[in-house]
Amino acid sequence: MLYGTRLRALSIATLVTMTAALALAFFYAPMDADQGFMQKIFYIHVPMGIVALCGFVWGGINAIQHLRTRDPKYDLRSYVAIHLSLILGAGVLVTGSIWAKASWGHWWVWDEPTLVSFLIVFLLYATYQPMRFSIEDREKQARYASVFAVTAGAFVPLNFIAVRLAQAYTHPRVFATADGGLPAKMQLPFYLSFLGMTLLYITLWRYEMASKNTSAKLRSLRRKLAGDDAVAPAGRTAAPSLPTT
Amino acid sequence: MSARATEPASSESDEALPEPRYVPLRTAVRALLRKELALELRAPQAVPAMALFSVTTLVVFHFALQRGVVDGDLASGVLWVTLLFAAMLGISRLFVADHEEGGLDGFLLAPTDRTALLVAKAVGLFAFLVALEVVAVPAFALLLLGPSPSLAAYGQLAVLLVLADAGIALVGTLVGAIAVQTRTRDLIVPLMALPLLIPVVIAAARGTSPLVLQGGSQGLEVRWLFVLGLYDLVFGLLAYALFDFLIED
Amino acid sequence: MILAQTTNALPDNTGYVAAAYLVFFALVLIYVVIMASKLARFERELTELNDLADERFGAGAPASRDPAPAPEEPARR
């Protein structure tokens, strides 16, 4: 399967959606009554968070497929999904921390169950790559990584429930106004930003898959043209590679 | 276990050899569990280490917190951190002997469900954790705990411990099986297991706090038992579904 | 555009908002950088392999005059 085919269309869609979303966020959405201007952070922080979590679960789903079919392409898809979500997750934690500092004066607060849950999930997935790296056998590495991805994917909702139970507070009045819902004029930029973030994730995912695919094909081509010796033996790596024909 | 499967080959073709008799799950689990416990009883390694580690940790806590007695939230936290970190030791060692001495390969040849190993290891780890707590909880009560909880409170703590141990045992078996194949197993185990066990810590610590209050123990909130139960159920199902993939080759 | 705030928000909110959005853009641009280096490597390797193929199968002289050379292999995908 080729991953680069719809890349241009996807990137354009992402660009248009995100630009529109951010423009609306700054010029159309009203100022938040409680938090003022800094509430605007929420238009990228929360969509990034939701997309990152969905990405982790999507990595888990691909891992299930890998365990069922043993096709290495699913392992690669799972790896890239988790890898991307981890990067987005780092962004979520940083922007969340900035928001905390702006809102409450501290760079980190434990009162936010969603942010705390996110930290736990992030710490868990941060072990994914070191774990992969420390298993040398490729097939075993892929299999164990998939088991981990499924476990961690199932853990995400469980963790959020547990942390929320541990704290009486709810996530800040982002979604609450006097009436208790996100006001209409804030909804549009938010959902648009969420869509844009999803498109960004898909675009980057395809980018990386296409890149890995190309690497593998180049390697295969080199082997066909120059013989087996010209190809450097694959060193120990955490990243899965597609089987070279 | 599979001894009765072998019969001397007759002069006819292979079809004459009888099918190895499939060992039912219960028998396999019983046999494996007996092996686990026998090994530990004969050459105690994991449990004494875990117990000693827990007592040492309590001493470290005394100096680190600079207190002679703790109660309430602090006591609950100290107890559960101690138990959790001692459990890490047990998890690291769980599959090492099988992996190094070929027990895993032997098991794979046996005509039985792979789940038997999961159940046996998890129950074994559970037993080790209970043994750990038999030492650690009284040590904690002796060394650091200020208030003296009533018998009822201890009973409620026991229920919490049982549910939490089940969760730790299930997660520990999964993580232990993953970690034993890596080169850095002592590092991977705590890194992977601790985030996964945070819901257990949350529920257990929150549940224990009212039991060790200075002014006399208050009741255990049932919702923490539900959380632990849910956690055990989810991870039990996960482990059951995934364990086979870890024990292949 | 910045209204005077009378809330208990910290004085310089715009700094924080800008920082947060900068983090987001930095992440995306880091990706651009990584992809750029990968693309450079692919180009280098492909050129190398192309030269290798030329050596192996001849420089493709018959096709060199042709403004639109026909592909040598049968249609791929």
Predicted pLDDT at C4: 59
pLDDT tens digit sequence for B197-219: 999 999 999 889 888 887 767 77
Q: Where are the alpha helices (DSSP H) in chain A?
A: 7-27, 42-69, 72-104, 113-125, 128-133, 138-166, 184-226
CB contact under 8 A, A151 and B196: yes
Give the pLDDT confidence score for residue C12 in this predicted structure. Answer: 62
Average pLDDT for residues B90-113, to the nearest whole number? 82
Q: Which two tokens stand for residue B36?
A: 């686990």
Amino acid B57: pLDDT: 94
Parse chain A into domains and list their residue ranges. Answer: 7-213
Residue to substitute from C5, C12, C23, C77, interface A, most A β-carbons within 10 A: C23
Question: What is the pLDDT at residue A175?
Answer: 39
Contact B185, B179 (CB under 8 A): yes
Q: Does A222 touch chain C (CB under 8 A)?
A: yes
| Long-range CB contacts (within 8 A, 24+) of C18-25 | C19/A98, C20/A41, C20/A44, C20/A45, C20/A94, C20/A95, C20/A98, C20/A99, C21/A22, C21/A41, C21/A44, C23/A91, C23/A94, C23/A95, C23/A98, C24/A44, C24/A48, C24/A91, C24/A95
Q: What is the DSSP string of B78-89?
A: HHHHHHHHHHHH
- Assign domain A7-213 one CATH number from 1.20.120, 2.60.40, 1.10.287, 3.10.20: 1.20.120
Contact C3 A87 (CB under 8 A): no
Task: Output A103 or B192, whichever has higher pLDDT.
Answer: B192
What is chain A's pLDDT, residue by residue, as a tens digit (245 residues)? 777 788 888 889 999 998 888 888 888 878 777 777 778 888 889 899 999 999 999 999 999 999 999 998 899 999 999 999 999 999 999 999 988 888 888 888 887 778 888 999 999 999 999 899 888 888 889 999 999 999 999 999 888 888 877 775 444 444 333 334 567 778 888 899 999 999 999 999 999 998 888 888 888 888 888 777 777 776 777 788 776 55
Count residue pairs from A and C with Cβ separation < 8 A: 80
pLDDT of residue B2: 46
Residue A176, pLDDT score: 36
A38 vs C16, C35, C38: nearest CB: C16
Q: What CA–CA distance (Å, rounded) separates A227 from A245? A: 13
Subunits adjacent to chain C (3 or more Cβ pairs under 8 Å): A
Q: Which residues of A touch B248 (CB under 8 A)?
A: 143
Residue A31 touches chain C, beta carbons under 8 Å: yes
Q: Residue B158 above 80 pLDDT? A: yes
> What's the pLDDT score for residue C15?
78
> Which of B118, B182, B206 is the mutation pick for testing A, counting most A CBs within 10 A?
B182
C69 pLDDT more than 60: no
Kindly give the interhelix angle for B151-179 and B185-208, rounded to the nearest 10 degrees.
160
The pLDDT score that the predictor gives to residue C71 is 53
pLDDT one-digit tens code per residue, B32-88: 888 888 888 888 888 999 999 999 999 999 999 998 888 888 999 999 999 999 999
Do A81 and A96 form a contact (C-beta atoms < 8 A)? no
CB within 8 Å of chain B, chain A residues 105-124? 120-121, 123-124
